[in-house]
Amino acid sequence: MKSFRLFSVILLAVLAYGIAGAQQSLRINTGIVSPEINPDKSVTFRYSNPAAGSVLLSGDCVADNVAMTKDADGLWTYTTKPLKGELYSYNFVVDGQRVLDPSNVYMTRDIAVWVNYFTLCAEPYDQGWYYEVHDVPHGNVSKVWYNSPTLGVDRHMTIYTPAGYEKGDKHYPVLYLLHGSGGDEDAWGDLGRAVQILDNLIAE
């Protein structure tokens, strides 16, 4: 029995180490900071690829695709002008091929296209502030199936409930957000940051 307990403790420790390792591996460790929000609210992008002949920055943080500059070590950089508070999406275009920023773990899917994104808060309570996670009560998100008699199929839906909803001691109004043509049930939660916006608005 003692040997079984010892085995259980060892197994638990190994599993815990494995889980911690898996969580650690989610952190991108390229040694490169990209994007970096500067004190003046300009943003610097960095991408290491000595073999690339051309790297462009594409996204809503620049007016048009802009060429990045390559240094002697093969590090490509570009710094924007100061930006207003907002959520910005972007990609790199490497020798004509769209690629994600390997130094930025934050990415989302816009229909069939994956993009990196970042939020920028220029001043408290500007538009970018509402996209960010703050020290406020947080609601919960559920993914549920429902039947659509109109379409005759089961469909997927995302439901946000505010902090305290689970107590069941009061009624809440309901807001329906439809993603529109081409989107899906993840559009408002991921690309639209509806969860963070609702948390912040309710707390305010």
Q: Are residues 109 and 166 in the same domain?
A: no
Q: Are residues 65 and 84 in the same domain?
A: yes
Q: Are residues 124 and 180 in the same domain?
A: no
| Token reading at 123 | 């001043």
Q: Which amino acid is at 144?
A: V
Residues in the chain, overall count: 204
pLDDT score for 30: 76
Structural domains in the chain (count): 2
pLDDT score of 127 more than 90: yes
pLDDT score for 178: 86
pLDDT score of 21 more than 80: no
Q: Are residues 43 and 124 in the same domain?
A: yes
Q: How many CB atoms lie within 10 A of CB 137?
A: 10
pLDDT (tens digit per residue) in 169-181: 999 999 998 887 7
Assigned domain for 28 exists: no
Among 79, 110, 131, the domain boundary falls at 131
CA 32 to chain centre: 18
Among 93, 113, 131, the domain boundary falls at 131
pLDDT score for 180: 79
pLDDT score for 88: 96
Assigned domain for 20 exists: no
Assigned domain for 183 exists: yes
According to DSSP, residue 84 is labeled: -
pLDDT (tens digit per residue) in 22-77: 333 445 677 899 999 999 999 999 999 999 999 999 999 999 999 999 999 999 99
Q: Are residues 107 and 178 in the same domain?
A: no
Q: How far apart are CA 200 and CA 139, in angstroms?
A: 10
Assigned domain for 2 exists: no
Q: Are residues 123 and 150 in the same domain?
A: no
Assigned domain for 5 exists: no
pLDDT (tens digit per residue) in 75-93: 999 999 999 999 999 999 9
Assigned domain for 9 exists: no
| Token reading at 150 | 């109109």
Local confidence band at 19 (pLDDT 50, 70, 90 cut-offs):
very low
Q: What is the CA radius of gyration of the chain?
A: 22
Q: How far apart are CA 69 and CA 54, in angstroms?
A: 9
pLDDT score for 26: 45
What pTM was computed for the model?
0.78
Assigned domain for 110 exists: yes
pLDDT (tens digit per residue) in 87-114: 999 999 999 999 999 999 999 887 788 9
Assigned domain for 22 exists: no
Q: Are residues 124 and 43 in the same domain?
A: yes
Q: How many CB atoms lie within 10 A of CB 197?
A: 16
28-62: string of b/e by CB count within 10 Å (b at 16+)? eeeebebbebeeebebebbbbbeebeebbbbbebb
Q: How far apart are CA 46 and CA 202, in angstroms?
A: 36
Q: Are residues 41 and 98 in the same domain?
A: yes
Q: Which domain holds residue 82?
A: 36-131
pLDDT (tens digit per residue) in 128-148: 999 999 999 999 999 999 999
pLDDT averaged over every residue in the chain: 87
pLDDT score for 1: 52
Q: Are residues 146 and 120 in the same domain?
A: no
Please report which residue ranges of the chain form alpha helices under DSSP H: 2-25, 127-131, 194-203
| Token reading at 53 | 């002949």
Q: How far apart are CA 130 and CA 162, in angstroms?
A: 16
Q: Are residues 127 and 144 in the same domain?
A: no
Q: What CATH code is carried by the domain that includes residue 124?
A: 2.60.40.10
